[in-house]
């Protein structure tokens, strides 16, 4: 470079990057010293150091050795900007930076400000007066998790805090809900709840520190390696479902495995614990490749424990195949892919995967919830059978007629409640924006219809499909490109759907009452249970509706207690989940909750 030529820092950095690829690492101080422009030497030095430390796998100890090199301008270290850049890049590369590495540079945590994008706290800070954040373990769509030192009790714990964004109260509320879930569980495959604190900057969830690597980092496993891990996760989920919750975000990233191959399920902030009277409208949280079709096209109220069964199948598929079942770029693409996966498109298995494992995956990831395993414990049991004898055929145990009756009542009750909500909203407003907001509920109606028709057929009750369902689905797939005429058409379709619901309720009632008296009793009990959160009269009637079924006391005891004293604080979402789980287990295996 001549004395008159303008120095090109980008070209210089690219030349350094090429040199870094060689071995050994070039003398960074020498490259800084040779840079001809004193005014930009600090920026160039920072860029070269950042490049070198990234190449070394974020070896912060090496970076510390460079601090005393006089060839680097002192301003490189004084502002702390270089360390902040290193920290952000380390986080972006899925690293887990430790405060102890950065602390050696002698800059206080509050002054250094080591934060990734949307982080609420800096690494090294003390939160809630006692928890020093010593390592950033990871972040998600709701919050950030740190390893922390509990200065009051000299122990290491995990601390989760919400992200810092505008209008972030929903993230704070998600942390509080996650705390409620964890506090109600005592399974060894779940982090033990320690505390929930309300600090000045929001809630702080403290749990047991779980060590291990995520399954995402394991890559492809043999089915002999994968099945024991999936069985452990399924057993955790069964405990969760028995408590009335759905995890909603089962994926390799949320499963930690320690050196003894013990699996721990983490990140419960998506778990369904919402009251159905107030929180059924939003898109269910989760990760698209592991979301069931009814979750992708529906709303939160459409998701039950079979979403987690679907995720277990997707998890097993990724572990034994080495790649996700699908890679949608967004929800709209996921909708299309989910439909295709249930039709002509088949998952691709390697030749070395036994047929029994393939059938296990395919049953769990069926587009239709009725074709999946009823519970996570059913899935775990079949996984164990496959593991012990992979060459044998292992079918999903067929559901009894009584279970179909209960499922039909749940599906039609959910459909009727959703339909009533749509009709009420449409009657109160002609605003097309309101109608567009209702679109997820309308597609939720068609999702429930998808379950009603085959269930009724299995009970020998002929029910015709609603002709407008396909049109609703098509409009839903095009929701980002809808025109005014499309929205008006949706408004016209809503009364048709309501009439179909009325007709179907009458048809099912007549058909079951005449041919399956016991099935009819189960159907009415399930149907009426869906109305309980919305009307005190339904809560008063439900015990009488349930008596003809002959439920064991422990199957319906908790729900009966809620019906006897309903109130604003009643968690109906959880109560209904617990009721469904208990009834399914009782009807399928004769199991009564302890």
> How far is the C-alpha of 407 from the C-alpha of 516, rounded, in Å?
15
> How far is the C-alpha of 414 from the C-alpha of 392, rounded, in Å?
39
Task: Say what the pTM is.
Answer: 0.82
> Which strands make up the sheet holding 263-265, listed edge to edge?
213-214, 255-257, 263-265
Which CATH number is correct for 219-388, 1.10.510.10, 3.40.50.2000, 1.20.810.10, 1.10.1050.10?
Answer: 1.10.510.10
The whole-number average pLDDT for the span 553-571 is 84
The domain locations on the chain are: 9-89, 109-208, 219-388, 400-532
pLDDT for the residue numbered 493: 86
Check whether 278 has a pLDDT greater than 50.
Answer: no
Q: Are 156 and 149 in contact (CB under 8 A)?
A: yes
> In this prediction, what percent of the chain has a pLDDT beyond 70?
91
The whole-number average pLDDT for the span 324-341 is 72
Copy the structure tokens of residue 505. Answer: 């309720």
Return the DSSP state at 273: -
- Of 418 and 317, the structure prediction assigns the larger pLDDT to 317
> Helical H runs in 243-305?
293-297
Rounded alpha-carbon distances, angstroms, from residue 484 to 217, 475, 487, 502: 47, 12, 5, 28
Q: Which residues of 541-554 are buried (b: 16+ CB within 10 A; e: fewer)?
A: ebeebbeebebeee
pLDDT for the residue numbered 398: 67
Tens of pLDDT, residue by residue over 161-200, are 999 887 678 889 889 989 999 998 999 999 999 999 998 8
pLDDT for the residue numbered 275: 39
Copy the structure tokens of residue 352. Answer: 């070395």
pLDDT for the residue numbered 6: 59
pLDDT for the residue numbered 188: 94
DSSP string for 333-371: HHHHHHHHHTTT------TTS-HHHHHHHHHHT-SSGGG
Secondary structure class of 327 (helix, strand, coil): coil
> How far is the C-alpha of 358 from the C-alpha of 26, rounded, in Å?
51
> How far is the C-alpha of 230 from the C-alpha of 443, rounded, in Å?
32
| CA-based nearest residue to 177, from 573, 591, 593 | 573
| Residues 6+ positions from 373 with CB-CB distance below 8 Å | 309, 363, 364, 379, 382, 396
**Three-state SS letters, 475-517:** HHHCHHHCCHHHHHHHHHHHHHHHHHHHHHHHHHHHHHHHHCH
Rounded alpha-carbon distances, angstroms, from residue 288 to 250, 295, 311, 336, 515: 11, 9, 10, 12, 42
Q: With cut-offs at 50, 70 and 90, classify the pLDDT of residue 594.
A: low
> How far is the C-alpha of 308 from the C-alpha of 189, rounded, in Å?
16
Tens of pLDDT, residue by residue over 221-277, are 999 999 999 999 999 999 999 888 889 899 999 999 999 999 999 998 766 543 344
Radius of gyration of the chain from its Cα atoms, rounded to whole angstroms: 28
> How far is the C-alpha of 584 from the C-alpha of 370, rounded, in Å?
13
Lowest mean pLDDT among 276-280, 286-290, 305-309, 437-441: 276-280
pLDDT for the residue numbered 491: 81
CATH number of 109-208: 3.30.200.20
Q: Are 232 and 263 in contact (CB under 8 A)?
A: yes
pLDDT for the residue numbered 505: 94
Sign of CA dihedral 123, 127, 133, 137: negative
pLDDT for the residue numbered 277: 41
pLDDT for the residue numbered 286: 80
> In this prediction, what percent of the chain has a pLDDT beyond 90?
51
Q: Are 281 and 321 in contact (CB under 8 A)?
A: no
> Helical H runs in 93-222?
99-103, 109-112, 169-183
Tens of pLDDT, residue by residue over 54-92, are 999 999 999 999 998 999 998 999 889 999 999 999 999
Tens of pLDDT, residue by residue over 408-465, are 999 999 888 888 888 888 777 767 777 777 777 777 788 788 889 989 998 999 999 9
Lowest mean pLDDT among 161-165, 297-301, 485-489, 548-552: 297-301
| CA-based nearest residue to 89, from 53, 43, 121 | 53
What angle do the packed helices 572-589 and 517-531 form, to 10 degrees?
160
- CA 392, distance to chain mean position in Å, is 33
| CA-based nearest residue to 432, from 504, 353, 490 | 490
Check whether 298 has a pLDDT greater than 70.
Answer: no
pLDDT for the residue numbered 279: 39
Burial of residue 395, with CB atoms counted within 10 A of its CB: 0-12 exposed, 13-18 middle, 19 or more buried: exposed
pLDDT for the residue numbered 283: 55
Copy the structure tokens of residue 376. Answer: 């996570």
- Other Cβ atoms less than 10 A from the Cβ of 166: the count is 4
> How far is the C-alpha of 468 from the C-alpha of 446, rounded, in Å?
9
Tens of pLDDT, residue by residue over 83-127, are 999 999 999 998 999 999 999 998 899 999 999 999 999 999 999
Tens of pLDDT, residue by residue over 500-530, are 999 999 999 999 988 888 889 999 999 999 9
> How far is the C-alpha of 525 from the C-alpha of 535, rounded, in Å?
15
């Amino acid at each position: 470079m001549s004395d008159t030529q303008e120095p090109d820092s980008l070209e210089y950095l690219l030349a350094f990057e090429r040199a870094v690829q060689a071995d050994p690492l070039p003398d960074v101080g020498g490259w800084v010293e040779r840079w001809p422009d004193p005014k930009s030497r600090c920026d160039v030095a920072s860029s070269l150091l950042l490049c070198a430390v990234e190449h070394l796998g974020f070896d912060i100890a090496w970076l510390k050795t460079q601090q005393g090199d006089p060839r680097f301008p002192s301003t490189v270290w004084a502002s702390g900007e270089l360390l902040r850049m290193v920290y952000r890049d380390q986080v972006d590369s899925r690293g887990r930076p430790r405060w102890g590495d950065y602390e050696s540079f002698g800059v206080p945590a509050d002054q250094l400000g080591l934060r990734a994008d949307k982080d609420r706290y800096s690494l090294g800070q003390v939160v809630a007066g006692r928890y020093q954040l010593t390592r950033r373990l990871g972040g998600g769509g709701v919050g950030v998790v740190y390893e922390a030192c509990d200065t009051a009790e000299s122990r290491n714990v995990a601390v989760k805090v919400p992200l810092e964004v505008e209008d972030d109260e929903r993230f704070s509320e998600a942390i509080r809900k996650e705390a409620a879930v964890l506090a109600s569980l005592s399974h060894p495959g779940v982090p033990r709840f320690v505390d929930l604190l309300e600090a000045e900057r929001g809630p702080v969830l403290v749990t047991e520190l779980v060590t291990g690597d995520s399954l995402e980092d394991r890559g492809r496993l043999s089915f002999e390696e994968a099945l024991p891990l999936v069985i452990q996760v399924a057993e955790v989920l069964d405990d969760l479902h028995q408590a009335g919750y759905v995890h909603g975000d089962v994926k390799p990233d949320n499963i930690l495995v320690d050196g003894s191959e013990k699996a721990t399920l983490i990140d419960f902030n998506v778990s369904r614990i919402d009251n159905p009277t107030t929180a059924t409208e939003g898109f269910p949280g989760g990760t698209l490749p592991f979301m069931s079709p009814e979750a992708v096209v529906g709303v939160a109220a459409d998701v039950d424990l079979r979403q987690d069964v679907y995720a277990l199948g997707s998890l097993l598929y990724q572990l034994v195949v080495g790649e996700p079942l699908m890679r949608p770029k967004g929800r709209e693409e996921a909708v299309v892919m989910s439909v295709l996966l249930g039709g002509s498109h088949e998952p691709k298995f390697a030749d070395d995967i036994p047929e029994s494992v393939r059938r296990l995956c395919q049953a769990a990831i069926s587009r239709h919830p009725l074709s999946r395993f009823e519970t996570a414990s059913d899935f775990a049991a079949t996984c164990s059978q496959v593991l012990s004898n992979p060459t044998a055929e292992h079918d999903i145990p067929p559901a009894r007629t009584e279970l179909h009756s209960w499922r039909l009542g749940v599906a039609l009750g959910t459909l009727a409640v959703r339909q009533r909500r749509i009709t009420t909203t449409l009657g109160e407003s002609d605003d097309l924006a309101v109608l567009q907001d209702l679109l997820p509920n309308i597609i939720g109606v068609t999702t429930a219809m998808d379950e009603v028709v085959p269930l009724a057929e299995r009970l020998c009750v002929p029910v015709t499909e609603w002709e407008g369902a396909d049109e609703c689905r098509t409009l839903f797939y095009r929701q980002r490109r809808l025109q005014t005429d499309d929205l008006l058409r949706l408004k016209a379709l809503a009364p048709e759907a309501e009439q179909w619901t009325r007709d179907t309720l009458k048809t099912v009632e007549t058909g079951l009452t005449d041919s399956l008296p016991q099935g009819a009793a189960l159907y009415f009990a399930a149907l009426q249970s869906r109305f309980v959160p919305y009307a005190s009269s339904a809560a008063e009637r439900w015990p009488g509706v349930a008596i003809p079924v002959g439920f064991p006391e422990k199957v319906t005891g908790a729900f009966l207690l809620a019906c006897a004293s309903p109130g604003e604080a009643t968690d109906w979402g959880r109560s209904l989940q617990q009721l469904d789980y208990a009834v399914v287990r009782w009807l399928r295996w004769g199991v009564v909750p302890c």
